[in-house]
Amino acid sequence: MKHIGILGASGSVGMQGIDIIREHADSFKLVSFAVGKSIDIAQRIIDEFNPEICCIQNEHDMDKLNINGKQTKVVFGDQGLLEVAGYEKNDVLLNSILGSVGLRPTLHAIDKGIDIALANKETLVVAGDIVMQRAKEKGVNILPVDSEHSAIFQCLNGENVKNIEKLIITASGGSFRDLTREQLKDVTLEDALNHPNWSMGKKITIDSATMMNKGLEVIEAKWLFDLPVERIETILHKQSIIHSMVEFNDTSVIAQLGTPDMRMPILYAFSYPERMQRNAERLNLADIATLDFKAMDLERFKCLALAYRAIEIGGTLPVVMNAVNEVAVQLFLDGKITFLDIETLIERAMDEHVVIQNPDLETILAIDADYKSRNYEV
């Protein structure tokens, strides 16, 4: 029996993690979780799973939870988040919080020797060097949950990493993959949230539409698999059936395929190094019939180009890129800027930033907070 903790339990990935625990109740037990302001979801989780500790965002919401007859301890805020992340009974922590707020809990869990099932891209985007070094020192597994990184992780099982030629990360192209840049000027929020393949939260869906999500994945892959960014490629693949590929020095290419369902990589991270049975839709290639691929156009997908630039320069530039992206996406969701304004704000901030190389954790957190607190105008 593995004991599981979940950060971001009310989000899309977190809820799918709950599904996996429910489906495999004889193998996994939810002992800790954190939500934000979703008190109703927290209550349902407590009622069903009777976990030992729960974190909510605000102290004034604690009285709204009915824990009579339950063993669940309720905590709140940033300190509560750390308490859940580092809970002593966690064997695996699924970090599915959105944004760089997931960094400190990840490091805290690593320090406690807890394996990380990582769905929080921003943790590695802003502090990949620090996180991976800390995990190595503590002997902790960083188990990727993003479908692309889980695919690469699976393709590399039993392989010598010295034989890797390059990683090939696939991208659906998001909601606007068939539109020109001219057509992007008039897209709506409703259009942007209509992803053709995946069911995800709003922020990730917008990131997919701008292709920033793929940029974050490139940076994450650099740190997860310890490869220079020039050996990490992206390719458009509309069907989201091949989740990623690895090319080796003998020209062999190994790919991982599956239906577009995040529960598979979540289960793999929870059960690693084993595989477990799932009663779910099976991939039928005869029904799919055709798999399409197209070279990535970095002029069309400007946010992806900005991400490549950020990691090539390194230092604090990825921190700035990520922070401004988080703010800009929220401004778009709030109807305050247009879709193309997102990349404009990010590029402007990156152009103006004086990069600090080899930043320590406090510098990273300070820059992140600074850029998130600024007022942005197009």
Short-list 229, 240, 208, 233, CA closest to 329: 208
Q: What is the pLDDT along the chain (378 residues), one digit of tens a residue?
A: 999 999 999 999 999 999 999 999 999 999 999 999 999 999 999 999 999 999 999 999 999 999 988 999 999 999 999 999 999 999 999 999 988 899 999 999 999 999 999 999 999 999 999 999 999 999 999 999 999 999 999 999 999 999 999 999 999 988 888 888 888 888 888 888 887 666 667 888 899 999 999 999 999 999 999 999 999 999 999 999 999 999 999 999 999 999 989 999 999 999 999 999 998 999 999 999 999 999 999 999 999 999 999 999 999 999 999 999 999 999 999 999 999 999 999 999 999 999 999 999 999 999 999 999 999 988
Measured N-to-C along each axis, helices 202-210 and 341-352 cross at an angle, to the nearest 10 degrees, of 80
Instruction: Kindly state the tokens that stand for 9.
Output: 């339990």
In the prediction, which pLDDT does 177 show?
86
Q: What are phi and psi of 203, to 5 degrees?
A: -65, -45
- Dihedral of CA atoms 196, 8, 13, 20 in degrees, nearest 10, equals -160
Long-range residue pairs from 278-281, CB within 8 A, at least 24 positions apart, any chain: 278/23, 279/23
In the prediction, which pLDDT does 68 show?
87
- Helix ranges restricted to H, 75-201: 77-85, 103-111, 121-138, 147-155, 189-192
DSSP 8-state secondary structure symbol assigned to residue 279: -
In the prediction, which pLDDT does 111 show?
98
* Gap between the Cα atoms of 49 and 112, Å rounded: 24
In the prediction, which pLDDT does 198 show?
61
Q: What's the pTM?
A: 0.94
- Residue 12's SS3 state is helix
What are the distances in angstroms from CA 298 to CA 48, 133, 232? 46, 31, 14
- Dihedral of CA atoms 146, 149, 152, 157 in degrees, nearest 10, equals -80
CB burial string 122-152: b at 16+ within 10 A, e below: bbbbbbbebbbebbeeeebebbbbbbbbbbb
